[in-house]
């Protein structure tokens, strides 16, 4: 829906006039977003229907469209994406020379939306002119698991069932529905104003501009194309000179430039943009309007773009924070009795065994050791340093959204009290390896403590095996973050010419550092030589992990070795890839494991979970699960 204001918005001009990829890109925030793009129909279907049903054969067929489209998430929240009443239908013309016609386009839909765990789209669209149902269907999308579609690209769903009173049932692909799931995107709002050439841009109160034509949006990284404005002759947009019209909201990948193309007719004058005239760079600075213009002989068209992060969407909090009565979703299904039989008592017998395998499951028996028995490690810095930064993961991708198989380069971090190199691969010394795991993240080195604000910066210089620039730039928080960004799941994207890096992290306003240790011991308490594979992760009790993106990127991976990829323990200590996790004082830390421990050649499968509360930082908390011959324990030592 076009919104018209009487005055121009406060604008901000890009600091860089040339929007080429700079030497060092600053990060752009983003989130997983869902967007319904358009709905189209086959035009000859309606022409055949008119002929069979005795409707007048017009020069151009048309629809009088009404109905609604709704989106319902996994929490039963329902959002209306489109609605037209029967008394106010939308007239849609169906050109004879086009096989398909878009009856609903992006600028008419209330999207994008935060990506929920599940999506149920209900389409109920009718044609008043013919008194028929065009589409009455529901589409279910499960975003909690790997999606059978490419990210950041149009995905078409075709409905070949004929809904028009059952006639012409042989007609195929009557209705197409296009939607996009963005891996990491930001919302763009596009608006225009028309001023007379030589004018100052103020509103003089005259309806001086009648605007027809199109404005379309694309980006430099994908094949996405969105219609921002589409006005045919006879249905012009009427604007006062200097008035501002908001045209459309839509999602743009955070790693790509936005390219607008305008082909307008204003008061009979053709005004079109040329290559890169309307090229805009995404930014994390929300709400300032960035302005460019195209100039005709009689008037100028001012084009404005404003960026908005999903944190400002009304449904954002629903996706991130767990409700008071919402159960915690554990990653390895330890709580489900049907999948994990429980031992009746400590040291229970084997569930299944043979010469090469021994399968066991364990009850969790936590115990707390007094601080006097422990070697304490407590930091005493000023309170500002309690703003800890938890970097969950960093993924590196090619610019088309795919994964880069082999990369090299460096990622370094500078924070309040030091500098670290957390990733380094040297091509000249042939240290370059396939650093990408199955989820597209790189394995990071650990600095020996959590990162600290008020100053925090990650610097990237990464190339692929063909020496192409994947990402060069930085993620920076060089002052106290705004309250709206604290304690939130953030994703910052750093672009390059051929790819990008995405950093998934949280800045905690008041947090403790949890130092974790995982150990395998004999029942007598002595260290056991063993080999370990599997996965150990850490997550938070107050957070939701509804979609595949949160599960992959916003849980801390402590240990990750694939099936059959065993590593030796060090005196019973499992060599963790990450042993330090920042935890908010008001939250709880959950540690979950799905591992295989091989002792004397016999594999023991173990699923484990425990919850740790940072109520008393002077205590170390140990959670133990015990079998007949050995025990597995997770200890947490808190520092502040």
Q: What percent of the chain has pLDDT over 70?
A: 77
164 and 24 together in one domain: no
Q: Over 322-389, what HEC string results?
A: CCCCCCCCCCCCCCCCCCCCCCCCCCCCCCEECCCCEECCCCEEEEEECHHHCCCCCCCCCHHHHCEE
192 and 211 together in one domain: yes
Q: Are 124 and 68 in contact (CB under 8 A)?
A: yes
pLDDT of amino acid 583:
93
Kindly state the average pLDDT of the residues 356-366. Answer: 30
476 and 403 together in one domain: yes
Question: What's the farthest any 2 CA atoms get from each other in the chain?
Answer: 92
Q: Over 45-58, what HEC string results?
A: HHHHHHHHHCCCCC
> Quick check: bond before 91 cis, omega within 30?
no
Kindly state the average pLDDT of the residues 594-611. Answer: 84
342 and 408 together in one domain: no
Q: Which segment, 48-57, 176-185, 376-385, 595-604, is predicted with the most confidence on average? A: 176-185
Whether 206 is covered by a domain: the verdict is: yes
42 and 170 together in one domain: yes
Q: How far is CA 209 from CA 7, 194, 226, 240, 268, in A?
A: 15, 7, 24, 6, 10
pLDDT digits (tens, 9 = 90+) for 293-313: 999 988 999 999 999 888 888
> Quick check: bond before 112 cis, omega within 30?
yes
308 and 371 together in one domain: no
Whether 156 is covered by a domain: the verdict is: yes
pLDDT of amino acid 619:
64
Whether 383 is covered by a domain: the verdict is: no
593 and 575 together in one domain: yes
Least reliable range by pLDDT among 143-152, 357-366, 480-489, 573-582: 357-366
Least reliable range by pLDDT among 122-126, 148-152, 215-219: 148-152
Q: What is the mean pLDDT of the chain?
A: 79
Confidence of residue 64 (pLDDT cuts 50, 70, 90): very high
pLDDT of amino acid 206:
56
Which tokens is 262 given?
Answer: 């305008």
Whether 539 is covered by a domain: the verdict is: yes
- Helices and strands, number each (H, E), in the chain: 3, 43
45 and 110 together in one domain: yes
Q: Are 275 and 262 in contact (CB under 8 A)?
A: no
Query: Which of these, 246, 234, 310, 356, lies nearest to 32 by C-alpha position?
Result: 310
Q: Is 316 left (phi over 0), alpha (psi -120 to 50) or beta?
A: alpha
Kindly state the average pLDDT of the residues 7-20. Answer: 50
Q: DSSP H helical segments within 17-155, as ranges?
A: 43-53
CATH number at residue 121: 2.60.40
pLDDT of amino acid 334:
53
Least reliable range by pLDDT among 45-54, 325-334, 515-524: 325-334
Domain end among 129, 150, 184: 184
Beta bridge partners of 38: 178
Higher-pLDDT residue of 572 and 591 is 591
Whether 556 is covered by a domain: the verdict is: yes
- Which residue range(s) make up the domain with 45? 31-184
Confidence of residue 449 (pLDDT cuts 50, 70, 90): confident
pLDDT of amino acid 7:
66
- Residue 522, pLDDT > 80, answer no
- Residue 435, pLDDT > 70, answer no
Domain end among 290, 312, 334: 312
260 and 148 together in one domain: no
Q: How far apart are CA 441 and CA 460, in angstroms?
A: 14
pLDDT of amino acid 18:
40
Kindly state the average pLDDT of the residues 94-118. Answer: 88
Q: Mapping DSSP to helix (H, G, I), strand (E, B) and coil, where does residue 11 land?
A: strand
Q: What percent of the chain has pLDDT over 90?
A: 33
pLDDT digits (tens, 9 = 90+) for 454-473: 788 999 999 887 888 888 99
pLDDT digits (tens, 9 = 90+) for 412-421: 998 878 888 9
Domain end among 271, 288, 312: 312
pLDDT of amino acid 171:
43
Least reliable range by pLDDT among 129-143, 331-345, 492-506, 605-619: 331-345
pLDDT of amino acid 385:
46
Q: DSSP H helical segments within 520-574, as ranges?
A: 548-553
pLDDT of amino acid 361:
30
Q: Mapping DSSP to helix (H, G, I), strand (E, B) and coil, where does residue 88 land?
A: coil
pLDDT of amino acid 150:
74
Q: Cβ of 339: how many Cβ atoms within 10 Å? A: 11
Confidence of residue 186 (pLDDT cuts 50, 70, 90): very high
481 and 576 together in one domain: no
Least reliable range by pLDDT among 126-135, 226-235, 279-288, 591-600: 279-288
pLDDT of amino acid 191:
93
90 and 233 together in one domain: no
pLDDT of amino acid 181:
92
Confidence of residue 537 (pLDDT cuts 50, 70, 90): very high
Confidence of residue 400 (pLDDT cuts 50, 70, 90): low
The set of long-range contacts for 152-155, using a CB threshold of 8 Å and a minimum separation of 24, is 152/180, 152/181, 152/182, 152/183, 152/185, 152/221, 152/222, 152/224, 152/253, 152/401, 153/180, 153/222, 153/223, 153/224, 153/401, 154/37, 154/178, 154/179, 154/180, 154/223, 154/224, 155/179, 155/180, 155/181
Cα dihedral 281, 114, 611, 383, rounded to 10, equals 40
- Residue 332, pLDDT > 80, answer no
pLDDT of amino acid 426:
81
330 and 347 together in one domain: yes
What total of structural domains would you count in the chain?
4
């Amino acid at each position: 829906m076009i919104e018209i204001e009487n005055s121009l918005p406060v604008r901000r001009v890009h600091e860089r006039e040339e929007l080429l990829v700079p030497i060092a890109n600053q990060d752009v925030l983003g989130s997983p977003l869902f967007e319904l793009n358009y709905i189209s129909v086959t035009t000859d279907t309606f022409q055949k229907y008119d002929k069979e049903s005795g409707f007048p054969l017009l020069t151009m067929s048309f629809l009088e469209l009404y109905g609604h489209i709704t989106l319902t998430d996994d929490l039963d929240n329902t959002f209306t994406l489109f609605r037209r009443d029967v008394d106010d239908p939308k007239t849609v013309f169906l050109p004879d020379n086009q096989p398909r016609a878009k009856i609903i386009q992006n600028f008419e839909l209330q999207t994008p939306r935060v990506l929920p765990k599940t999506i149920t789209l209900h389409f109920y669209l009718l044609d008043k002119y013919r008194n028929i149902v065009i589409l009455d269907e529901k589409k279910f999308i499960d975003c909690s698991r790997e999606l059978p579609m490419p990210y950041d690209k149009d995905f078409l769903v075709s409905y070949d069932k004929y809904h028009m009173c059952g006639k012409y049932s042989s007609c195929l692909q009557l209705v197409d529905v296009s939607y996009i799931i963005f891996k990491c995107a930001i919302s763009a709002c596009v608006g225009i104003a028309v001023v007379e050439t030589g004018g100052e841009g103020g509103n003089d109160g005259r309806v001086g501009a009648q605007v027809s034509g199109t404005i379309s949006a694309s980006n430099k990284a994908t094949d996405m194309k969105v219609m921002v404005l589409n006005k045919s002759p006879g249905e012009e947009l009427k604007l006062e000179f200097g008035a501002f019209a908001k045209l459309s909201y839509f999602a743009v990948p955070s790693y790509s430039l936005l390219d607008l193309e305008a082909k307008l007719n204003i008061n009979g004058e053709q005004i079109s943009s040329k290559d890169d005239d309307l090229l805009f760079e995404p930014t994390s600075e929300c709400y300032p309007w960035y302005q460019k213009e195209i100039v005709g002989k009689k008037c100028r068209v001012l084009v404005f773009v404003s960026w908005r992060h999903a944190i400002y969407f009304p449904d954002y909090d629903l996706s991130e924070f767990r409700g008071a009565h919402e159960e915690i979703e554990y990653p390895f299904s330890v709580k489900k009795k049907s999948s994990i039989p429980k031992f009746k008592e400590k040291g229970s017998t084997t569930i299944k065994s043979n010469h090469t395998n021994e399968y066991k499951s364990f009850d969790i028996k936590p115990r707390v050791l007094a601080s006097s028995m422990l070697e304490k490690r407590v930091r005493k810095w000023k309170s500002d340093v309690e703003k800890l930064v938890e970097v969950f993961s960093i993924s590196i991708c090619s610019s088309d959204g795919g994964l880069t198989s082999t990369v090299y380069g460096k990622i370094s971090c500078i924070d309040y009290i030091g500098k670290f190199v957390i990733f380094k691969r040297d091509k000249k010394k042939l240290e370059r390896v396939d650093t990408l795991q199955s989820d597209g993240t790189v394995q990071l080195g650990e600095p020996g403590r959590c990162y600290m604000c008020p100053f925090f910066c990650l610097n990237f210089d990464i190339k692929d095996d063909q020496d192409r620039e994947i990402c060069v730039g930085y993620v920076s928080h060089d002052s106290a973050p705004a309250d709206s960004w604290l304690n939130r799941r953030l994703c910052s994207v750093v672009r390059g010419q051929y790819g990008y890096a995405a950093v998934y992290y949280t800045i905690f306003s008041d947090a403790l550092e949890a130092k974790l240790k995982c150990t395998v011991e004999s029942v007598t308490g002595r260290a056991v030589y063993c080999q370990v594979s599997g996965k150990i992760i850490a997550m938070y009790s107050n957070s939701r992990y509804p979609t595949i993106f949160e599960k992959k990127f916003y849980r801390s991976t402590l240990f990750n070795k694939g099936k059959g990829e065993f590593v030796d323990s060090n005196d019973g200590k499992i060599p963790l890839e990450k042993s330090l996790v920042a935890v908010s004082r008001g939250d709880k830390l959950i540690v979950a494991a799905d591992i295989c421990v091989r002792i004397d050649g016999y594999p023991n499968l173990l699923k484990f979970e425990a919850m740790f509360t940072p109520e008393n930082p002077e205590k170390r908390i140990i959670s133990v699960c015990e079998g007949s011959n050995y025990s597995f324990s997770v200890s947490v030592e808190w520092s502040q």
